[in-house]
Amino acid sequence: MQKVALSLAMLFFLPSVAINSHAAQTAPVTTNTTQQPLQQPQQSAIGSPVYIQIFKEERVLELYSKSGNDYRLVQSYPICKFSGGLGPKKTEGDFKSPEGFYQVDLRQLKPDSRYYRAINVGFPNEYDRAQGYSGRYLMIHGECVSIGCYAMTNKSIDEIYTYVEKALRNGQQKVDIAIYPFRMTEQNMKRHSRSVDYKFWSQLQPGYAFFNLTHQPPAVSVANGQYVINNKTIPASPPASHYAFAQAK
C-alpha cells in the first residue's frame, strides 16, 4: 500500500506540460527551475527592472521583476498564438516568430497599436543582421492574432506593457527579452539534437542556463556573427550538471 500511495503522490505532483501545436509529437521535457509566480502582479514591483523570457513550444511568456539582487517571477502568461513553428525568423514574409536575445526601450512601445498594445522586440538585432535575416515590426501584442508576432490576450498585454513601460520610465535603460524555442534543459536539447536549428539553439542555451543558475539576465553580445554569453558573475562552484558558458574576451 505504501508503494501505491507513493506512486500516486509522484503522479499528482508531476508538472503539467503545455504542447505547442507546431511542436513534435513527443511531449517536451519542461523541468522548471524558476520561482513560483506571485498570486497577482504586485503594485510594489511595478517600476522595478524587469526581464522577459518566451518559450515557443510551451506557449508561455514569463515576466520577471527585480527584487533585491534577484529577478523573481511575477507571472506566467499563456501565448495565444505565434507563427511558423520552432526555429528563428530569417526572411520578411516567412511568417516566423523570432528567437534570440532582444532589447526594448521606450521608443519600441506602442500604446495605440491596431492590436491593442504592442512591444516591438527589436528584430532584426545585431545577430540577425549578421546572418542576413530580414523583417520588421515583430511584436508582442494583444488581440490573439499573429502573423509573425507573439499574440497575447488584451488583459495579459495590459499587465506586461505596464511593467515594461514603468520600468523604462523609472530608469531601466533597456528591457532584455530572451526568446527560446523551448525550455532548454539537457533533455530537451537531446530531443531536438537532429534539428537543422540545433547549432543555433546551442548558442541560446547558455543564456537560459545562466538565468536559471543566477536569477540574473545574461549579458549577451555578438562576436563574429555568433551569440556570446558573458559569465563573469557565475558562482565559483556551480552544480556539476551546469552548462558550458562562453567567456567573453
Q: Which residues are marked as active site?
A: 141, 149
Q: In 3-state terms, what secondary structure has residue 9?
A: helix
DSSP 146-215: -SSSEE--HHHHHHHHHHHHHHHHTT---EEEEEESS---HHHHHHTTTSTTHHHHHHHHHHHHHHHHHS
**CA dist., res. 21 & res. 42, Å (int):** 32
**CA dist., res. 234 & res. 207, Å (int):** 12
Q: Which residue has the cell 528591457?
A: 175
For residues 34 and 58, is the Cβ–Cβ distance under 8 A?
no
Which set of grid coordinates corresponds to residue 74? 511575477
